[in-house]
């Protein structure tokens, strides 16, 4: 009986390992696990929450919007405007790469894009209807920096709002402190600052405030505040075009 030469055996093992790792090619080892944990620490996979978005102009004037948001699974998000009165009843829906805006007067949903903004200011639709980072980005690099870890992310497809993200996270809590959104040429689009870690109950401890600024909107600041994040499962029909005018009915 022939036996395999030790060198050939090692080579065969190495080839098998490479083949097994092929799906993770381009991803930093351990990076995906870190990113998944960061996602789960920010939100349960399915939840409801209330948010307030505040756009602050250079002259100090503010515009505020209050939204009710629901998310289910990896790629379904819907948001309903509660305040101000001029926007009350508007809703947005995201199913994977598809996004729609429903305006009560227009009476039917229209397709929108992730780079537009239904509220104006620095936050765009991708920020308001955000999915898990792990579902849209691969982790290209992980760098330990003492009490923080820096993850460099690359978009999985051209449909994602930002080509690259750089997440700086607290190593112990695995919660982001800042996220930089960049273009393919590494030009900074905006920076998200995560602040005021708060206990929401049900084991959800996460930043209550996300503040963003952008070199493209000099002097402007936009703030997103989170309240009442609660794990909750929804019937799948909630995340359909036909249900958009009725989103208010699932508030409890």
Partner 1 sequence: MRSGSLLAALTMALMLGAAGASGQTPSDAAQPDPFDLPDLRPPRFTLGGHVEVRPVAVRLDPASVFYRLRGGDAGERWQTVGNGQLLVDTGYRQGPVQAFARTVFDGAGGEGGWDGEVSLYEAWVSLKPTPSVSLDVGKRTMKWGKGYAWNPAAFLDRPKDPEDPALALEGVVVVSADLIRSFTGPLQTVAVTPVLVPVYDGVNESLGRTGHLNAGGKLYLLLWDTDLDVMFLSGGSRAARWGLDFARNLRPEIEVHGELAVAGDEEVRVIAADGRVVARRRGGASWLLGARYLARTNTTVIVEYFRRDFGFTADEMRQYFDAAGQTLGPPMPGVTPLPLPTLAGLARSGYADRQPMRNYVFARASQPDAFGQLYLNAALTTIYNVDDRSLLVMQEMQYRLAGNLELRTQIAGNIGARGTDFGERPGDARVEVRVRYSF
Stretch 31-50 residues interacting with partner 1 (CB under 8 A): 37, 41, 50
Longest dimension (CA), the chain: 85
Q: How far apart are CA 136 and CA 32, in angstroms?
A: 12
Q: According to CB under 8 A, which one of 32, 193, 220, 232 is a site residue for partner 1?
A: 220
Q: How far apart are CA 25 and CA 11, in angstroms?
A: 19
In the region spanning residues 124 to 163, those forming contacts with partner 1, defined by CB under 8 A, are 158-159, 161
Of 140 and 208, nearer to partner 1 (C-beta) is 208
Q: Is 233 in the site for partner 1 (CB under 8 A)?
A: no
94: Cβ contacts below 8 Å, ≥ 6 apart: 75, 76, 77, 78, 125, 129, 131
Q: Is 117 in the site for partner 1 (CB under 8 A)?
A: yes
The H or E element containing residue 15 is helix 6-21
In angstroms, give the least distance from the CB of 41 to partner 1.
7
Phi then psi for residue 33, to 5 deg, are: -65, -40
The alpha carbons of the chain give a radius of gyration, in whole angstroms, of: 21
Size of the site for partner 1 (CB under 8 A): 73
Of 14 and 120, nearer to partner 1 (C-beta) is 120
Of 8 and 246, nearer to partner 1 (C-beta) is 246
In angstroms, give the least distance from the CB of 89 to partner 1.
8
The helix/strand count (H/E) of the chain reads as 4, 13
Of 14 and 84, nearer to partner 1 (C-beta) is 84
Q: Is 174 in the site for partner 1 (CB under 8 A)?
A: yes
Of 9 and 36, nearer to partner 1 (C-beta) is 36
Stretch that binds partner 1, among 2-10, 86-94, 131-139, 143-151 (CB under 8 A): 86-94
Q: Is 215 in the site for partner 1 (CB under 8 A)?
A: no
Q: Is 69 in the site for partner 1 (CB under 8 A)?
A: no
Q: How far apart are CA 93 and CA 75, in angstroms?
A: 10
Of 22 and 86, nearer to partner 1 (C-beta) is 86
Q: Is 107 in the site for partner 1 (CB under 8 A)?
A: yes
Q: Is 188 in the site for partner 1 (CB under 8 A)?
A: no
Query: CB neighbours (10 Å) of residue 201?
Result: 11
Q: According to CB under 8 A, which one of 116, 156, 187, 215 is a site residue for partner 1?
A: 116
Buried b (16+ CB within 10 A) or exposed e, 172-186: eebbbbbbbbbeeee
* CA 172-50-79 angle, 5° bins: 110
């Amino acid at each position: 009986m022939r036996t395999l030469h030790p060198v050939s055996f090692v080579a065969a093992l190495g080839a098998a390992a490479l083949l097994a790792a092929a799906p993770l090619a381009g991803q930093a080892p351990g990076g995906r696990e870190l990113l998944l944990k960061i996602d789960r620490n920010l939100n349960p996979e399915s939840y409801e929450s209330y948010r307030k978005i505040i756009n602050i102009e250079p002259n100090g004037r503010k515009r505020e919007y209050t939204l009710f948001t629901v998310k289910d699974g990896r790629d379904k998000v819907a948001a309903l405007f509660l305040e101000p009165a001029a926007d009350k009843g508007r809703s947005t829906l995201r199913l994977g790469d598809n996004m729609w805006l429903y305006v009560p007067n227009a009476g039917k949903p229209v397709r929108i894009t992730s780079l537009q903004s239904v509220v104006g200011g620095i936050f765009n639709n991708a920020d308001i209807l955000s999915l898990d980072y792990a579902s849209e980005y691969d982790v290209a690099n992980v760098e330990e920096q003492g009490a923080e870890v820096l993850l460099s992310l690359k978009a999985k497809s051209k449909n994602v709002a930002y080509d690259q993200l750089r997440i700086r996270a607290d190593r112990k809590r695995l919660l982001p402190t800042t996220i930089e959104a960049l273009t393919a040429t590494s030009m900074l689009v905006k920076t998200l600052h995560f602040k005021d870690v708060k206990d929401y109950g049900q084991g959800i401890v996460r930043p209550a405030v996300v503040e963003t600024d952008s070199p493209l909107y000099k002097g402007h600041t936009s703030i997103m505040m989170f309240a009442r994040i609660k794990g909750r499962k929804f019937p799948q029909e909630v995340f359909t075009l036909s249900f958009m005018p009725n989103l208010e009915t699932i508030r409890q």
